[in-house]
Homo-oligomer: A and B are copies of this chain.
Amino acid sequence: MSDQRPADRYHHGDLRNALVGAATALAREGGPDAVVLREAARRAGVSAAAAYHHFASREDLVQAVKQRSLDLLTGEMRAAMAQETDTRAAVARPTDTSLAVARETAPVGNPASRADSARRRLRALGVAYLRFATAEPGLFRLTFGPRGRWPVAGTHGPHHTTTDPFRLLAQVLDELADAGAVPAERRPGLEYVVWAAVHGTAVLCLDGPLASADPAQRQQIIEHALDTIIRGL
């Protein structure tokens, strides 16, 4: 799937997408500062001015890239969580292959096993987040830099108008609280605490002292961090 326009056509047909694609590639290669409108247009095989029929400004284009990047992360986190849910469900009910999210299948088993399974899912979410960060450092820095596109909680009730990764995290923490693995008084705001710890680990791996560590050591720290967070709940 090339973003390049076919040479024989005057109209591109899907230029907006092509520009976002090219800009995303730029971000992937060089992070936030590498997202250059003129270069994205060049890669799409189009004049720079053409971009202004689709975006009000460079910033507008960058926003679109951030959104696309966040969508990618969301997809991976959903997949990681669904897989963990499947695994668990498969143990209990071998024939169930549904992709239903955790909440719908959670109230199964005794509290201890429910807590265990929620902890596994929480860990899977963290692993997915960190995998994305290390696999796509450019996109990660763009999405979570200053004026980034952070997932945010909605203001209208729980699990409503909420961007997905945040919602997934909230869901798992609710399960842990329901199973008694997190005292009720500690539940409020816990999303931010867990997120901060995982995000900080990503930053240390990408830009911090762990950037120059060898992958094995990095992986060890990641495990250590996830263990510590879960233990601290």
Contacts and interface: CB of A to CB of B under 8 A. Distances in A.
Contacts of A224: 186, 189-190, 192-193
Given A204-B192, A208-B150, A209-B152, A229 B197 contact: yes
Interface in A175-233: 186, 189-190, 192-193, 195-204, 206-210, 217, 220-221, 224-225, 227-233
B221 A193 contact: yes
A132 to B, nearest CB: 15
A195 B200 contact: yes
A109 interface: no
- Determine which residue in A144, A196, A203, A233 has the highest number of CB atoms from chain B within 10 A of its CB, and name it: A196
Nearest to A163: B209
A28 to B, nearest CB: 15
Contacts of A141: 146
Copies per assembly: 2
Contacts of A201: 192-193, 196-197, 200
A148 interface: yes
B192 A196 contact: no
B204 A199 contact: yes
Given A196-B197, A225-B197, A207 B148 contact: yes
A31 interface: yes
Interface of A: 31, 141, 144-148, 150-153, 166, 186, 189-190, 192-193, 195-204, 206-210, 217, 220-221, 224-225, 227-233
16 contacts: A31-B146, A144-B203, A148-B208, A152-B209, A186-B224, A192-B204, A192-B210, A193-B225, A196-B221, A197-B200, A198-B200, A200-B203, A203-B203, A229-B232, A230-B232, A232-B232
